[in-house]
Amino acid sequence: VFATPDAVKHYLQLHLAAKPHEVFAVLFLDVQNRLLAMEELFRGTLTQTSVYPREVVLRALHHQASAVVLAHNHPSGTVQPSRADEMLTQTLKTTLALIDVRVLDHVIVAPGEALSMAERGLL
């Protein structure tokens, strides 16, 4: 069970911080925020990756998730969300709401740090 944003950030740092290219991953959670699965859905280049909402929806349905935590890494070392990161988060939040899946957070990971968009009020 992921009880705090710090627990989620730590878990994601272990899995994504050392990747040499951008990776977009999703934690699929049940009603009690227990991890059903973590999947790296999209891989990109050093500075960007393409994310397709349809695929995120399909995987959420496959896992019968009640909630998700979105995540991606910034190999460049900065965890500041770009405008594109903010827009993607809102698009996925709106899209997943149509199938009753809540977006709890979008975490950006870089070597040595992680940023929770929920903690920053960007959700």
In a domain, 110, yes or no: yes
In a domain, 9, yes or no: yes
In a domain, 121, yes or no: no
In a domain, 123, yes or no: no
User: Strands across the sheet with 67-73, in order?
Assistant: 35-43, 23-29, 67-73, 102-110, 113-116
Tokens of 36: 């059903």
- What is the gyration radius of the CA atoms in the chain, in angstroms? 13
Domain total in the chain:
1
In a domain, 122, yes or no: no
In this prediction the pTM is 0.94
In a domain, 42, yes or no: yes
| Domain CATH code at residue 112 | 3.40.140.10
Would you call 41 exposed, middle or buried from its count of C-beta atoms within 10 A (0-12, 13-18, 19+)? middle
Tokens of 56: 């995120």
pLDDT tens-digit series, residues 15-51: 999 999 999 999 999 999 999 999 999 998 877 789 9
For residue 56, the enclosing domain spans 5-116
- Interatomic CA distance for residues 55 and 24, integer angstroms: 12
